[in-house]
Amino acid sequence: MSSLQAMSKQELTQRVTALREEYEGYKARGLSLDMSRGKPSAEQLDLTNGLLDCVNARTGFCTDAGFDTRNYGLLDGTPEAKALFAELLDVPTDNVVVAGNSSLNLMFDYIAQAVSTGLCGNTPWGQLSEVKFLCPVPGYDRHFAITEHFGISMITVPMTENGPDMDMVEELVKDPAVKGMWCVPMYSNPQGITYSDETVRRLANMVPAAPDFRIMWDNAYCIHHLTDTPDTLLNIFDEVHAVGHDDMVVIFASTSKVSFPGAGVAVLAASKANIADIKRRLTVQTIGHDKINMLRHTRFFGNAEGVHQHMKLHAAVLRPKFDVVLSALENRLGDTGAARWHTPNGGYFVSVELQNGCAKETVRLLKEAGVVITPAGATYPYGQDPNDSVLRIAPSYPPLSELEIAMELFCICAELVYAEKLLNA
């Protein structure tokens, strides 16, 4: 394994031949492996099975205050669930709404509200000639799908090791058509980067031209540490408050990867004015969310410390899988120059930056050999990676044995594509 760039044409030809041979060997095995989705494995799901027995006729259905969770009421969640998430997110309980099963749904509905009826008395975005959103890239495809759905123009901002390029962000928010920004501030999807303190402070201190500019702070992985030396993230709720910009940020999270995806609990936290604005809609939108499921969660976890302990069990399952991915990348691609990546301390993904023009072809080769990964371009707005270089690896779902094979093949394909590219250059 050595730098492909530094090889002679003859060395490159030999390397391509060797990699082709390895590739064909794997291909002949008729594999069917999937590294495409950030899904918990069955082993992880089993960690939370006990939650399903936490509310029934034997345990009772009432909150501490005696409210029957089987009936209508408590639009913003059970007091216990609000307290638990307030503790986890380190915000006041009154600034929390505990809702349904999907934080993505909360984000969609918030943007839908901005588009259809407007935020805090501002003009509905649907009545403006142009609305733009800042999208740090690579990023989360489902965020971009929401803004695309509503016809909002997306402006990409490159991620750095400290978060989005803040010089660029600060310049862009001077445009009053720029109405918001997607952020996964901790263990970002897909790179696993945590925003630096300076980045959070600069975000909090921005004075965008649009009065209804919103930072969509998707803190999906705030407690999803993988190592004993976790990243730390500055509390943006406190930072915006300190400078009087309380209304600029809405925080989202869920237990999709804490308890069960689809049967978890989602939450948002925001300023008093934003919460009132959101509740004005919620009052009309729903009869309330599933309080029995909230009660299951608060009984199972007890408090924030209980959740943190539970996340250590998840980490124990996930860490060996991330180790397989990172070892393969290091051992097989480390010095080749074919790939760069950030080693994450948490989250659900490893993002690999290949040389320009290598991503799609790598995915194609993998697919032909029976390994599915997230499509090239998926981490960019409109599915278009201008450099065709970024691929996202999701290690959580496949068993270790399958992951090892899939990663070997990934590295073979990535190196092969780059080597052939150099050879044909």
Q: Footprint of its own copies on this chain (CB under 8 A)?
A: 37, 39-40, 42, 45-46, 48-50, 52-53, 55-57, 61, 68-73, 100-102, 104-105, 108-109, 112, 115-117, 124, 126-127, 142, 145-146, 148-151, 256, 260-263, 281, 283-293
The smaller minimum CB distance to its own copies, of residues 91 and 115, is found at: 115
Q: How far is the CB of 266 from its own copies (least distance, A)?
A: 10
Task: Output 132 or 143, the one with its CB closest to its own copies.
Answer: 143
For 272, the token pair is: 């008093």
What's the min distance (Å) between Cβ of 309 and its own copies? 20
Report CA torsion sign: 175, 389, 221, 381: positive
* Tokens read off for 282: 């919620």
Measured from the CB atom, the residue of 70 and 174 that comes closer to its own copies is 70
Distance CA 12, CA 165 (A): 36
Which of 14, 286 has the CB closer to its own copies? Answer: 286
The number of beta carbons lying within 10 Å of the beta carbon of residue 323 is: 14
Measured from the CB atom, the residue of 151 and 357 that comes closer to its own copies is 151
Residue 99 or 178: the one with the smaller Cβ distance to its own copies is: 99
Q: How far apart are CA 127 and CA 116, in angstroms?
A: 8
From the list 135, 54, 118, 119, the residue with the least C-alpha distance to 298 is 54
- Mention every residue, 6+ apart, whose C-beta is less than 8 A from residue 98: 76, 77, 78, 81, 82, 85, 265, 266, 267, 289, 294
Taking the complex as a whole, how short is the minimal distance between the CB of residue 183 and its own copies, in angstroms? 19
Which CB, 131 or 333, lies closer to its own copies?
131
Tokens read off for 219: 């803190």
Residue 128 CB, nearest approach to its own copies (Å): 11
Minimum Å gap between C-beta 67 and its own copies is 11
* Minimal distance, residue 146 CB to its own copies, in Å: 6
**Shortest gap between Cβ of 206 and its own copies (angstroms)?**
27
Nearer to its own copies, 28 or 284 (CB): 284
- HSE value, Cβ hemisphere, 13 Å, CA-based, for 347: 26
Q: Which is nearer to its own copies, 280 or 340 (CB)?
A: 280
Residue 115 CB, nearest distance to its own copies (Å)? 5
10 Å Cβ neighbour count for 401? 9
> From CA 385, how far away is CA 383, in angstroms rounded?
7
Min dist CB 229 to its own copies, Å, is: 29
Name which of 142 and 342 has its Cβ closer to its own copies: 142
**Tokens 């990023």 sit at which residue?**
139
Considering the complex, what minimum distance in angstroms separates the CB of residue 68 from its own copies?
7
